[in-house]
Amino acid sequence: MPLALAEFNTADAADVRPALTACLAVPRWVDAVLAGRPYADFDALLTAAEKATPLHRDEVSAAIAAHPRIGEKPTSTGADAEWSRSEQSGVDNAGEFAAANAEYEARFGHVFLVCAGGRSGAELLANLRSRLGNDPETELDVAGAELAKIAALRLRKAIDA
């Protein structure tokens, strides 16, 4: 159940930290968003979240670990797992993703990360394949930008604008 913005603004930081961490598992980002409270409106909250990016490559690597593979159902419970299920609802070609994910992980050493909300499985698979040509540093930067998009999408689910 989303928090009202007024509740988010006044709640104890320890009470809203888990909701923000479910949006993006980067402690520096969570701290920056918390430090900006109170927010006049949801757009101000989104602006603060965007200003806390880009993410550092070590933050990207750590945050990626909190995400399931595209095409696989999350095994954990909680808001972030439910959001992943919803975001990946357009993936209807999970079998094709198994081989592509394996190739990606062999190349980069981490799961493929993309903001999947509203995108088809074919589009996501094409995105994965196109990113195989990136060098590892560039790919971490791309994954970081995707994490920021996911965070904004999830903030819309966590905080009632």
Q: Which two tokens stand for residue 64?
A: 């990626």
Distance CA 50, CA 153 (A): 12
Helix crossing, 136-158 with 13-23: angle to 10°? 130
CB of 79 within 8 A of CB of 49? Answer: no
Active site residues: 67
Residue 71's CB is within 10 A of a number of other CB atoms, namely 22
Residue 71 structure tokens: 């095409």
d(CA 22, CA 79): 7
